[in-house]
């Protein structure tokens, strides 16, 4: 329902926010959060009555849009019957959610450990891998994001840390393939793939295979730029893990639950990890939920000896009821296939056409409802439109792009020199085209900063 404009309430909400809410990833005095009055489907409204088409799905999680009536009703019904119950008990919403998830995960990932979000799923996956193998180290990719908690932020490759931030022992980073900005001087996907695998195997051997518990990768790195791995890379990593007895962890927190036009991105590459993390799309983020899907071999380690970890709200019935309803809605409405079709038939051609006309677009890449435009000052040199981690005046070109998008009714996802096209998976074709037209106009602002 479109909320009535009410600037006075909006101002009060904003004032209380500014006074008391400490925001993630932000310099508290340099931000200006929009006060949101309501949201439905792919749109949200501010208190002045402005409507925005959400090309971000929140933080890439409202995969079935805002306020889906069936999921809202399922949460209400669960709240009316059993709002919460401790994780040691078998509870219908929890066991049903686990069953529906396990049925869809690749291979034999049949046991589900529930967490509250993505980061704690990563924490537990890495803990399980260390306990299972008895080895201390974890290898993780630069250009990755795995979450904001201790271990998850340390495996995350993004180097924006303070000097006095934590640095956990036993985390080793390597370069995963990314042809557009190849670290391997590769000119083809095949070269990039082969050299990235050679680099990873060398890293394993120099670290000592018997010290490496896990390799963790996002199946398709999301926050760092939606970089689809070349054909054969993930199968190659799977092979290295098997060769050296290493646990293969795929992080599907962002790429999972239909984002790529498959239930899981691992399905695109026909690869099965030993542990797979998920969150976000599992219930469209209506109630916080994440988890780890576990292989039989790792589950066996904890069959007779207790797994020494857990969470008070593990498998919270409200969150699990939302997951059950979300997965059913995705099946009933054919949302995964819809995302695959619109991605291939609408987004791909439209973005490639934008790249032809806008000199600021350096590369277009993606699949399903998971796309990135890399904006550059110079297509030849591939110099990013703004320097790495730019702030203030240095970030003016991306700020201009963002402002132009919003002026055209589009809320864009912006990270560094990239904009990601990551709308709800059930966005309609008409809404999608409206957003792509607004993106076209916003890119004109970016073009003005091309060298
Ligand atoms: N892994 C990946 C791949 C993610 O994209 C994210 C969140 N963007 C996380 C982990 C962390 O999830 P959360 O913010 O729910 O803790």
- What does the pLDDT look like over 388-443, one tens digit per residue? 888 889 999 999 999 999 999 999 999 999 999 999 999 999 999 999 999 999 99
Tokens of 428: 């309609």
Residue 345 buriedness (CB in 10 A; 0-12 / 13-18 / 19+): exposed
Tell me, what's the pLDDT at 169?
A: 87
Query: Each residue of 49-68: pLDDT tens digit?
Result: 999 999 999 999 999 999 99
Q: How far is CA 425 from CA 24, 289, 368, in A?
A: 25, 19, 8
Q: Is 343 in the pocket of ligand 1 (CB under 6 A)?
A: no
Tell me, what's the pLDDT at 359?
A: 98
Cβ atoms of 289 and 316 closer than 8 Å = yes
pTM of the predicted protein model: 0.98
| Residue of 63, 114, 146 to mutate, ligand 1, most atoms within 8 A of C-beta | 146
Regions of the chain short of the pLDDT cut 70: none
- Among protein residues, the one whose CA lies closest to atom 5 of ligand 1: 254
* Fold held by 69-332: 3.40.640
- Give distance in angstroms: CA of 61 to centre of ligand 1: 10
Cα diameter, the chain: 64
Q: Is 116 in the pocket of ligand 1 (CB under 6 A)?
A: no
Q: Is 123 in the pocket of ligand 1 (CB under 6 A)?
A: no
- Among protein residues, the one whose CA lies closest to atom 13 of ligand 1: 118
Q: Is 222 in the pocket of ligand 1 (CB under 6 A)?
A: yes
Query: Each residue of 260-288: pLDDT tens digit?
Result: 999 999 999 999 999 999 999 999 999 99
| Residue of 59, 224, 229, 279 to mutate, ligand 1, most atoms within 8 A of C-beta | 279
Which residues are bridge partners to 38 per DSSP? 45
Q: Is 146 in the pocket of ligand 1 (CB under 6 A)?
A: yes
Domain chopping of the chain, boundaries: 7-64+334-447, 69-332
- How far is it, in rounded angstroms, from Cα 291 to Cα 294? 10
Cβ atoms of 191 and 184 closer than 8 Å = yes
Query: Each residue of 34-50: pLDDT tens digit?
Result: 999 999 999 999 999 99
- How far is it, in rounded angstroms, from Cα 227 to Cα 284? 23
The CATH architecture annotation of domain 7-64+334-447 reads Alpha-Beta Complex (3.90)
- How far is it, in rounded angstroms, from Cα 174 to Cα 447? 34
N-term to C-term CA, the chain: 45
Q: Is 119 in the pocket of ligand 1 (CB under 6 A)?
A: yes
Q: Is 216 in the pocket of ligand 1 (CB under 6 A)?
A: no
């Amino acid at each position: 329902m479109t909320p009535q404009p009410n600037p006075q309430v909006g101002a009060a909400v904003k004032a209380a926010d500014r006074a008391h809410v400490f925001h993630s990833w932000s310099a508290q005095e340099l931000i200006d959060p929009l006060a949101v009055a309501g949201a439905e489907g792919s749109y949200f409204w501010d208190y002045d009555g402005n409507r925005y088409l959400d090309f971000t799905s929140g933080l890439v999680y409202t995969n079935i849009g805002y306020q889906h009536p069936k999921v809202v009703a399922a949460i209400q019904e669960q709240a009316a019957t059993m709002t919460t119950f401790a994780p040691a008990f078998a509870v219908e919403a929890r066991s049903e959610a686990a069953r529906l998830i396990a049925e869809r995960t690749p291979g034999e990932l049949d046991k589900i450990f529930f967490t509250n979000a993505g980061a704690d799923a990563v924490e537990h996956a890495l803990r399980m891998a260390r306990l299972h193998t008895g080895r201390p180290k974890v290898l993780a990719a630069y250009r990755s994001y795995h979450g904001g908690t201790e271990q998850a932020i340390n495996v995350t490759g993004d180097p924006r840390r303070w000097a006095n931030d934590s640095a956990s022992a036993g985390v080793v980073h390597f370069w995963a393939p990314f042809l557009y900005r190849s670290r391997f001087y590769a000119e083809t996907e095949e070269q990039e793939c082969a050299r990235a695998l050679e680099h990873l195997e060398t890293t394993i051997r120099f670290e000592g295979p018997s010290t490496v518990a896990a390799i963790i990768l996002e199946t398709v790195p999301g926050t760092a730029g939606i970089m689809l791995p070349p054909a054969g890379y993930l199968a190659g990593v799977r092979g290295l893990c098997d060769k050296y007895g290493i646990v293969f962890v795929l992080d599907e927190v962002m790429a999972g639950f239909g984002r790529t036009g498959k239930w899981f991105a691992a399905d695109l590459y026909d690869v099965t990890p030993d542990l797979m993390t998920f969150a976000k799309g599992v219930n469209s983020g209506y109630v916080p939920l994440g988890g780890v899907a576990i292989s039989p071999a790792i589950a066996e380690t904890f069959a007779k000896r207790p797994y020494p970890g857990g969470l008070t709200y593990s498998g919270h019935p409200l969150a699990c009821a939302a997951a059950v309803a979300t997965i059913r809605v995705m099946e009933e409405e054919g949302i995964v296939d819809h995302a695959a079709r619109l991605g291939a038939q609408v987004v791909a051609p439209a973005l490639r056409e934008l790249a032809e006309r806008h000199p600021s677009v350096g590369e277009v890449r993606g699949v399903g409802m998971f796309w990135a435009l890399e904006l550059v000052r110079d297509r030849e040199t591939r110099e990013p439109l703004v320097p790495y981690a730019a702030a203030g005046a240095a970030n003016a070109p991306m700020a201009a792009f963002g402002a132009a998008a919003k002026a055209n009714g589009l809320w864009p996802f912006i990270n560094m020199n990239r904009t990601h096209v990551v709308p709800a998976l059930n966005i309609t074709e008409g809404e999608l085209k409206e957003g792509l037209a607004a993106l076209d106009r916003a890119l004109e602002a970016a073009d003005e900063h091309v060298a």
